[in-house]
Structure 1
Amino acid sequence: MKFIERYSFLVHILGWLAFSLAPFSFFPFSFKESIHNYPILLPNIINNLLLMAIFYLNLHWLTPNMLKKGNLGRFYSVLAGALIFVFLVDIIVFQHVFRFAPTYLPNPDRHLPPPPTMGGGQMPPPPQSSPQGNPFPQPQSSIFGMMNTPHISGMMISFVLVVVFSSMMALIKERAANKAIQQQIIYEKLAAELAVLKLQVSPHFLFNTLNNIRWLARQKSDKTEGYILQLSDLLRYMIYHANHERVALQREIMYLKNYIDLQRMRLVNPSIAHFNAEGISDELLIEPMLFIPFVENAFKYGLHSQSESMIDISLTVREGTLYFFSQNDIFKDNTPSLVEDSGIGIQNVRKRLALNYPNQHQLEISDDGGKFTVNLSIQLQP
């Protein structure tokens, strides 16, 4: 199959050459003599050109756009019109060729000795011509008569074979393309899931969180146990739930909340990081770890040690559609090229959205007015 696809142009050329030259195998003359002595070959050549046009018309347009989509009426109507057109062209060419056929035919008496004379010098009567004497049937005077000729019958059989073969090729090609697309989707999904697994645990985040918890423990703070439990829940979710195809939206929100709370722990003013979730129900499912790259980027690039900053994150569900919003300040000395999606994490989210929510999501990322804003909407199914 790969060989045929790679050399498809050469395969088509060889196939049509074999199809066009096949009639010459039935004539015991050279190519030039066949053209001279058998003018029926001219209609065959014209007929083959028309069949080639119909072959590619059906291969690239009729079958993919009509037969595959169930428009059988239009499909058969166009084929019927094409058959009538080829039939009429064949009749016109056939009649024209045989109108001048005597100029092509060799004179059977040209090289024969003179006939013997009868008594009294009279010439014998000319012999009656045999029905098989002329290899060319006389042109018929009606269309129905023409349909009984071998050439027209062969044309109709060739037409059917060309249509059937081109339709089979189009369907096989479509099936192979769909199979390749499905394999590519599986590959992209596995690659995206692998990338997610690599991005699940950020060592920098874990080290900072553990250092902060250690500092709270030394201060004998009452918050130490709560932060340890939140970190434990966060790690448990990443290890045991993130590899599922779908998780409850409630679990995903709890994971985001734990992450944001642990990030707030290192802030002098924790109130600058806002998180809100509304309209969440238990039966809603979501792709796991889908929003964390946006939240990570907000804390990674939206905070500044010497300038005021604000991080605003929200999740809202209305009428079966989830709306995610994230916004943070932009600091030129602290932010990479946000126009290029802020790194691998957000590029990975784009791929996962395309694979898992095709035509069911809308993602808009902007960096206008000193703010980096993410608006994501996903149509959810309970």
Structure 2
Amino acid sequence: MDRIKKIFRLIHVSLWALFTLLVVLQLRGETNPHWLTLTVGVVASATGVFYSHFYLLTHYTGTRKGYWLRLAAIWLIGPLPFLLFHYKDFSLSNPFIGYYCMTLVTLVPIFIFLGWLARVTETLVINTIKKEQLEKQAVEAELYYLKSQINPHFLFNTLNNIHTLVYKQAPAAPEAVMHLASLMRYMIYESNAATVPLARELDYLRDYVSLQQLRYKNSPIVDLQISGNATACRIAPLLFIHLLENAYKHSPARLEPGDLKVCVAVQEDTLTFSVQNPIGQQATSPLEGPGGIGLPNVRKRLALLYPEQHSLTIQNTGHTFTVNLTIHGLHAPAHERKAQLLHH
């Protein structure tokens, strides 16, 4: 906000310098011997009227009657600086009252209007910026809240899995703890950024798959396919984990190799992420089980992070459940992304 006020001060100084230059050129062009004193008088009256009204509108919060009385005082006193510097040029044919009335109906109303226009313009710009800042803070707070839901939700499910391994005294338990430590390191230290490289997010998913694979004795049950240049774009962190987590949660207890299919495709500035799983015998529908926060969380984050830049579709064939997520415009400049975010 201080930077905006400095810009407005610079605009004020520049415009008054330009106005003074125009007055000097006008008076010198008329070969007026008193051009210097007349210039000082015109500029003094103009700035006096302008800033008197400008700050009256800024600071006065009294009654309407009080405002009009102060405005009338500005109007009547406004010509005096000009007349003070113009006094030496008075003659019988140009009496004091004539110059006073001329200034009263020409110069004064113009700069009263300009003072009002400047005040309205600055107020509009500053209020707009303040509104955008408040909206940005609200969006950031909601995103922080949504992201904070991920950590305890993910940790709760994973610790249950590790508890099972420890209870059975499985040799894979120490390895599971190491995988969890790696995942938590990413979630705590790296996912605080607004975006992360897509390749790093995919590494996080691979770690998660490796941790879950410890529960199964079969060959890898996840068929992960990646196409395109994953290093060429960035993505909001922790955006896919709920979808993959729910694929595990709502699949049958026994899974065969390749039953879970995860596909990530990057084409120009478009990313497509899909996950498919067989449907288990749960009473609740996938992604919508009691206490689940997966799909609502993903939808809210997408609406905030990628408004009008994404599509999320769900397909249930009765045997398989497929979620397709497409995000467009991953290479949009940061200022355009921020403008869209604030607008929505």
TM-score by length of 1: 0.49
1:262 to 2:211 alignment: yes
* 2:312 paired residue among 356, 364, 379: 364
* 1:315 paired to 2:315: no
Is 1:186 the counterpart of 2:134 in the alignment? no
- Given the superposition, is the C-alpha separation of residues 209 and 184 from structure 1 closer, same or farther in structure 2, using an over 3 Å criterion? same
1:177 is matched with: 128
Structure of higher CA gyration radius: 1
Letter matched to residue 207 of structure 1: L
**Equivalent position amino acid for 1:278 in 2:** S
| Match status 1:377 vs 2:321 | no
Identity level (%): 24
306 and 277 in structure 1: CA distance in 2 versus 1, 3 angstrom threshold? closer
Inter-CA distance 195–356: structure 2 relative to 1 (3 Å threshold): closer
The one-letter amino acid paired with 1:211 is: H
- Is 2:248 aligned against 1:299? yes
SS at match of 1:333: coil
1:272, CA displacement in angstroms?
Answer: 5.2
1:334 aligns with 2:284: yes
Segment drifting more, 307-316 vs 230-239? 307-316
Match of 2:148 among 180, 197, 204: 197
Residues 1-382 of structure 1 aligned to structure 2 (within 5 Å): 15=64, 19=68, 154=105, 158=109, 161-162=112-113, 165-166=116-117, 168-201=119-152, 202-214=154-166, 217-218=169-170, 220=171, 227-267=176-216, 273-282=222-231, 284-300=233-249, 302-305=250-253, 311-328=260-277, 333-335=283-285, 338=288, 344-357=293-306, 361-367=309-315, 369-370=317-318, 371-381=321-331
**Is contact 1:328–1:373 with CA below 8 Å preserved after alignment?**
no
3-state SS in 1 of match to 2:202: helix
Could you tell me which amino acid in structure 1 is paired with residue 159 of structure 2?
Answer: F
Q: Which runs of 5+ in 2 are unaligned?
A: 1-59, 76-100, 333-344
8 A contact 1:185–1:355 mirrored in 2: no
CA drift of 1:353 comes to: 4.1
User: Residue 231 and residue 213 in structure 1: after superposition, are their counterparts in 2 closer, same or farther (change >3 A)?
Assistant: farther
Which SS does the other structure have where 2:207 is aligned? helix
CA shift for structure 1 position 16:
9.0
Distance (Å, rounded) in 2 between the aligned partners of 1:298 and 1:291: 11
The AA in structure 1 aligned to 2:276 is: Q
- Residue 160 of structure 1 and its aligned partner are, at CA, apart by 6.3
> What's the CA shift for 1:362?
0.8
Matched residues, number: 248
- Whole-angstrom distance in 1 between the partners of 2:191 and 2:247: 21
The superposition leaves residues 162-195 of structure 1 with CA deviations (integer Å, 9 ceiling, x where unpaired) of 4652453244123213222223313431442244
Whole-angstrom CA distance in 2 between matches of 1:242 and 1:374: 23
Indicate if the aligned counterparts of 2:264 and 2:271 stay in contact, CA closer than 8 A: yes
Aligned to 1:243, the other structure's residue is in SS state coil
- Residue identity opposite 2:234 in structure 1: L
- 1:210 deviates by 1.2
Does the C-alpha gap of structure 1 residues 268 and 335 become closer, same or farther in structure 2, counting only changes over 3 Å?
Answer: farther
CA RMSD of aligned residues (A): 4.9
Seen in structure 2, the aligned counterparts of structure 1 residues 199 and 167 have a Cα distance that, compared at 3 Å, is same
Q: Which amino acid aligns with 1:377?
A: I
Which string of whole-angstrom CA distances, capped at 9 and with x for unpartnered residues, describes residues 65-85 of structure 1?
Answer: xxxxxxxxxxxxxxxxxxxxx
CA distance in 1, matches of 2:106, 2:205: 71
Q: CA deviation at 1:285?
A: 3.4
Secondary structure in structure 2 of the residue aligned to 1:303: coil
CA distance in 1, matches of 2:177, 2:240: 23
SS of 1:266's equivalent? coil
- Contact 2:306 2:327 (C-alpha < 8 Å) held by counterparts: no
* Inter-partner Cα distance in structure 1 for 2:109 and 2:136: 40
| Residue matched to 1:116 | none
CA displacement, residues 298-338 of structure 1 (integer Å, 9 cap, x when unaligned) = 222x3134999954322222224322223345667132785
TM-score (norm 2): 0.53
| SS of 1:200 mapped into structure 2 | helix
The amino acid of 2:139's aligned partner reads E
Structure 1, gaps ≥5 residues long: 1-10, 27-149
Q: Distance in 2 between matches of 1:250 and 1:306?
A: 30
